[in-house]
Structure 1
């Protein structure tokens, strides 16, 4: 079981690189925001897997909850900024 989670963590790390390309080359801000949220979601799962591998899942769950809240608030702030900048331009 330990090997399965280790391989899952490695594959998940590789999968995180796919939306990273969209963050760097995204044609619009919304594409970049969506890719950032995808990376954050995969990172949360990766942190949980690492917590299981270290045998301290309780501590790592707390870290992932804080990371999820920060990601959500960050998305709201960026969305609010994009909307307010469009209103100012128009």
Structure 2
């Protein structure tokens, strides 16, 4: 079980590093926002993996809040990019 945990941690860390690189070097605002959404998804995956490994559900409210934040951020980005008014 510990090998799987190490592999998951390495893969999530590599994905987070690549997403942070895109946030810093992104040529456009939309690239940076999409990279931030990817970072939120990586955090959700990491918290879900941690909850599965430790067999507890106390992080469920945090996962719900992060998921809601990602959804609201995506909707706000689409509305901003399309120029739509209320």
Partner of 1:23: 23
Per-residue deviation, 1:83 = 4.0
Provide structure 2 residue ranges, at least 5 long, that are not aligned to the other structure.
Answer: none
Runs of 4+ in 1 over 4 A off after TM superposition: none
Deviation sequence 1:10-68 (CA, Å, 0-9, x none):
32112211011111111111111211111111211111111123331x22233212211
TM-score normalised per structure 1: 0.74
Structure that is richer in helix per residue: 1
Q: Would you say the 8 A contact 1:2–1:53 is kept in 2?
A: no
Number of positions where the alignment pairs a residue of Structure 1 with one of Structure 2? 85
Q: Would you say the 8 A contact 1:22–1:31 is kept in 2?
A: yes
CA RMSD of aligned residues (A): 2.3
Partner of 2:49: 49
Partner of 1:63: 62
